[in-house]
């Protein structure tokens, strides 16, 4: 298990006074202090870690967030920002002496402008809620993490969320034009706006993906895009991971950038098929779902080109959807993957490494060896176009030994991703989960530079502490000229 810092005794001792001050700042309806109610907030999507916080506040305005942060800063109280709590890396895990600032009541869409193709929303609006608000006019918000029904745009900002379609449309950082943030000192800052290329240093660039380490986001201006005329998928099954990997390289090399390019290995195919009955080829070692977009004629043209490329790799089967319904059938198994794995194993860890795509066959072989060594099953789902690998490690959380082995297995996979030229996390974030692995990817100097940036925003390290950076050494001190 990953170590969390000792709570500050002085803060715990002042709990009653802190609660009454917070109630004054956000109103009694905006404060959760009852110990039973606090249990709701003790964990996030990384459910193995649990810790009820000192208190939860649910502010309704940016000004209330500022008041809470100013108060916590003055009192040396730690703050854990939280959206929907869907983080898979423990990004919203509370600490015993921390105030959780939950943004779920800030859930209003503030402005939609189709002529300028932007929408401004509060941080507690769900990812799908943005697309839902603009879909009637044929628009959408591009990043689409699997948790998009629940996860909130504020959390997407913190984690720089991706999704299955980011090969073409980019991740959160590529789709945000403006932010309203609150610093730990309680200052409200508006950055960027509805225009491209915000002024000065790239504040948006450093804030997006900063995992709540630098500031709390309360409002977001995103680009909205007009949806293509239509999309259609094909499914190709192969005799080996090597052949499927070579096919991915040939597709990208051909000049076609599919809107999605998803890879599943044999265990993933079997689990999904048993769950969803999508007609997946059970005799295949690997399978690709490839999606294209455009007019029906453009889709036909692209699918024909792709079919020709796939044909060169001796596919076991090739299924090209003729209609939107047939596309949906192809996606059905993949979209139910997490539920499917949940059905064959009491628990699973969803890893999130990234590798150079050319390394895929060798990495999958290595993961297979580790799986035998640890005696734990693993199914691999892979955003093949961008190298983002999601091994799902099957284990039993009620068995401490199984849990310890699963964590060790996961860490070993991630270390291997780094060793072959990849990285620890492609879209889930470091959180607490991968915090202690950071020195595998970064030198002491690299990490020190990141820590200094943290200190520039949050000199006392009160924001979302114990995440992202290993607990030692002591935070660096920045003295501005």
Partner 1 sequence: MMEPEAPADDAGIAAAIAAAAARGEPLSIMGNASKAPMLRPVQAARTLSTRNLSGVTLYSPAELVLAARAGTPLSVLEETLAGHGQHLIAEPPDLDALLGTAASATLGGAVAANLSGPRRVAWGAMRDHVLGMRAVNGEGTAIRSGGRVLKNVTGLDLCKLIAGSHGTLAVMTEITLKVLPASESTGTVAVLGVDAASGVAALAAALGSPYAVSGAAYLPAEAAASVSALAGLASGPGIALARIEDFTSSVTYRCERLAAKLGRFGSIRQIEDGTSRPLWQAIRDVMPLADRPEAAIWRVSVRPSAGPALAAVAAALGARWFLDWGGGLVWIAAVPNAATHRTISEAASAAGGTWMLLRAPDTLRTAVPVLPPLSPVLDRLTRRLKAAFDPMGILNPGRMYAGI
Per CB under 8 A, contacts with partner 1 among 406-425 are 421-425
- What ranges make up the beta strands (E) of 281-419? 286-293, 317-320, 347-350, 353-354, 378-383, 388-395
Q: Which stretch binds partner 1 (CB under 8 A): 123-131, 277-285, 307-315, 435-443?
A: 435-443
Is 361 a binder of partner 1 (CB under 8 A)? no
> Rounded to the nearest whole angstrom, what is the least distance from the CB of residue 187 to partner 1 in the complex?
5
Nearest distance in Å: CB 111, partner 1: 11
Q: Which of 5, 28, 76, 205 binds partner 1 (CB under 8 A)?
A: 205
Q: Residue 17 or residue 471: which is nearer to partner 1 going by CB?
A: 471
For the record, the structure tokens of 158 come out as: 């913190």
Question: Nearest distance from residue 224's CB to partner 1, in Å?
Answer: 9
* CA atoms of 64 and 169, how far apart (whole Å): 34
User: CA-to-CA distance for 143 and 170, rounded, in angstroms?
Assistant: 7
Q: Is 387 in the site for partner 1 (CB under 8 A)?
A: yes
Q: Which residues contact 372 (CB under 8 A, 6 or more apart)?
A: none
φ/ψ (deg, to 5) at 396: -125, 110
Structure tokens at 463: 């924001």
Binding mask 207-236 for partner 1 (x = CB under 8 A): -xxx--xx-----------xxxx-------
Rule CB under 8 A: is residue 193 a binding residue for partner 1? yes
**Which part of the chain contacts partner 1 (CB under 8 A), choosing from 8-16, 76-84, 125-133, 250-258?**
250-258
For residue 478, what are the CA distances in angstroms to 208, 455, 457, 460?
22, 6, 10, 11
Cα–Cα dist 19/11, whole Å = 11
With CB under 8 A as the contact rule, which of the stretches 22-30, 156-164, 265-273, 314-322 interacts with partner 1? 156-164
Q: Please, which residue, 9 or 201, has the CB nearer to partner 1?
A: 201
- The helix/strand/coil state of 244 is helix
Q: Does 173 bind partner 1 (CB under 8 A)?
A: yes
* Contact call for residue 290 and partner 1 (CB under 8 A): no
Per CB under 8 A, the segment of 123-131, 169-177, 232-240, 370-378 that binds partner 1 is 169-177
Q: What percent of the residues of the chain are helix, what percent strand, and what percent coil, each to the nearest 5?
A: 40, 20, 40
Per CB under 8 A, which region of 4-12, 24-32, 399-407, 449-457 contacts partner 1? 449-457
Nearest CB to partner 1, comparing residues 375 and 421: 421
Tell me the Cα Rg of the chain: 23
Two structure tokens written together for 109: 């869409």
């Amino acid at each position: 298990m990953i170590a969390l810092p000792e709570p500050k005794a002085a803060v715990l001792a002042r709990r009653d006074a802190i609660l009454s001050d917070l109630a004054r700042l956000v109103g009694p309806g905006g404060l959760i202090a009852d110990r039973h109610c606090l249990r709701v907030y003790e964990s996030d999507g990384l459910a193995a870690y649990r810790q009820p916080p000192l208190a939860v506040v649910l502010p309704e305005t940016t000004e209330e967030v500022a008041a809470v942060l100013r108060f916590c800063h003055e009192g040396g109280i730690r703050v854990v920002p939280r959206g929907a709590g869907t983080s898979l890396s423990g990004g919203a895990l509370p600490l015993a002496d921390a105030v959780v600032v939950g943004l779920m009541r800030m859930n209003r869409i503030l402005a939609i402008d189709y002529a300028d193709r932007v929408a401004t929303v509060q941080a507690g609006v769900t990812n799908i809620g943005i697309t839902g608000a603009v879909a009637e006019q044929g628009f959408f918000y591009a990043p689409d993490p699997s948790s998009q029904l629940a996860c909130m745009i504020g959390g997407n900002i913190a984690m720089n969320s991706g999704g299955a379609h980011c090969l073409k449309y980019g991740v959160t950082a590529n789709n945000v034009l403006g932010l309203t943030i609150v610093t730990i000192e309680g200052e409200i800052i508006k950055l960027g706006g509805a225009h491209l290329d915000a002024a000065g240093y790239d504040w948006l660039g450093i804030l997006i993906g900063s995992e709540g380490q630098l500031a709390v986001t309360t409002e977001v201006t995103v680009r909205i895009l007009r949806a293509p005329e239509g999309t259609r998928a094909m499914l190709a099954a192969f005799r080996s991971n090597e052949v499927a990997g070579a096919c991915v390289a040939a597709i990208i090399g051909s000049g076609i950038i599919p809107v999605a390019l998803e890879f599943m290995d044999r265990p993933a195919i079997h689990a999904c098929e048993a769950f969803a009955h999508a007609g997946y080829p059970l005799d295949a070692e690997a399978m690709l779902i490839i999606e294209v977009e455009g007019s029906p004629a453009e889709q036909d043209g692209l699918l024909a080109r792709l079919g020709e490329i796939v044909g060169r790799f001796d596919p076991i089967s090739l299924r090209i959807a003729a209609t939107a319904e047939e596309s949906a059938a192809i996606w059905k198994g993949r979209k139910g993957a997490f539920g499917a794995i949940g059905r064959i194993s009491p628990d699973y860890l969803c890893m999130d490494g990234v590798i150079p795509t050319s390394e895929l066959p060798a990495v999958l072989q290595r993961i297979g060896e580790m799986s035998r060594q640890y005696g734990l099953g693993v199914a691999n789902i892979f955003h093949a176009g961008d190298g983002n690998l999601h091994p799902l490690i099957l284990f039993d959380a009620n068995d401490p030994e199984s849990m310890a082995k699963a964590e060790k297995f996961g860490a070993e996979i991630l270390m291997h991703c780094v060793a072959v030229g990849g990285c620890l996390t492609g879209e889930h974030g470091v959180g607490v989960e991968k915090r202690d692995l950071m020195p595998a990817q970064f030198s002491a100097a690299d990490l020190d530079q990141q820590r200094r940036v943290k200190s520039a925003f949050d000199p006392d390290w009160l924001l979302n502490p114990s995440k992202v950076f290993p607990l030692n050494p002591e935070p660096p001190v920045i003295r501005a000229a």
